[in-house]
C-alpha cells in the first residue's frame, strides 16, 4: 500500500535535474526579458537600437501629459535600463521586478485606450506592456534561480512575501507617478 501511495502521490521535493532545468529556464527568461527591457531604456535615453533618444523621449512624454517630460522620460528610460540589467544579472531580483512592473503599469495606463487587442494600427494597445508586467511580477515571486548573482547570497530573496512586497511597491510607485502626472 505504501508503494502504491508513493507512485500516485507526487513528490514534494524537486529533483536536482528539475531544479537545474528550472534555473536554466529562469536564466533564459531573465537574460532575454531583462535584455529587452534594458534595450528599451537605451532607446529612450541614448537613441540606441533605432530609438528616439532623450530629447524626443522627453518631448513624447510631455505630449502624453507627463510634465515635465524631461523628468518622466528620463525616469522611464532609467527604470527600464536599470531594472532590465538587474534582471539580466539576477541581482536584487524582487526589486528589479518591482522597478519594471511599476514602469509597465504606467505604460499600460498610457496605452489603455487602444485596448488589449487593438484594431486601429494608429492606436497601440497595451498587450506588450501587460505581458512585460506579468513577466516582471512572476520573476519577483520566483527569484532568479541558481545561475544568478543573487543565488546563495545573504540578500537573496524570493517567494510569496517578497513577490507580494515587490508588487505592492510597484503599484505604489505607479500610482504615485500617475498622481504626479495629474498634478504637475
Does residue 158 carry a pLDDT above 80? yes
Per-residue model confidence (pLDDT) at position 19: 87
pLDDT tens-digit series, residues 89-114: 999 999 999 999 999 999 999 999 99
pLDDT, tens digit, for every residue of 23-51? 999 999 999 999 999 999 999 999 999 99
Those residues whose C-beta lies under 8 Å from the C-beta of residue 163, and which sit 6 or more positions away, are 94, 97, 137, 140, 141, 142
Residues 64-80: pLDDT tens digits?
999 999 999 999 999 99
Amino acid at each position: 500500500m505504501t508503494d502504491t501511495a508513493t507512485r500516485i502521490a507526487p513528490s514534494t521535493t524537486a529533483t536536482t535535474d528539475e531544479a537545474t532545468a528550472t534555473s536554466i529556464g529562469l536564466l533564459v527568461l531573465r537574460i532575454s526579458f531583462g535584455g529587452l527591457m534594458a534595450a528599451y531604456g537605451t532607446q529612450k535615453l541614448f537613441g540606441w537600437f533605432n530609438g528616439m533618444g532623450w530629447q524626443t523621449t522627453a518631448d513624447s512624454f510631455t505630449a502624453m501629459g507627463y510634465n515635465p517630460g524631461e523628468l518622466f522620460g528620463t525616469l522611464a528610460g532609467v527604470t527600464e535600463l536599470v531594472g532590465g540589467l538587474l534582471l539580466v544579472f539576477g541581482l536584487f531580483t524582487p526589486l528589479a521586478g518591482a522597478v519594471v512592473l511599476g514602469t509597465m503599469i504606467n505604460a499600460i495606463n498610457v496605452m489603455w485606450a487602444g485596448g488589449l487587442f487593438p484594431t486601429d494600427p494608429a492606436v497601440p494597445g497595451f498587450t506588450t506592456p501587460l505581458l512585460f508586467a506579468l513577466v516582471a511580477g512572476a520573476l519577483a515571486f520566483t527569484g532568479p534561480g541558481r545561475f544568478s548573482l543573487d543565488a546563495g547570497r545573504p540578500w537573496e530573496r524570493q517567494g510569496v512575501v517578497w513577490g507580494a512586497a515587490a508588487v505592492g511597491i510597484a503599484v505604489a510607485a505607479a500610482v504615485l507617478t500617475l498622481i504626479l502626472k495629474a498634478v504637475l
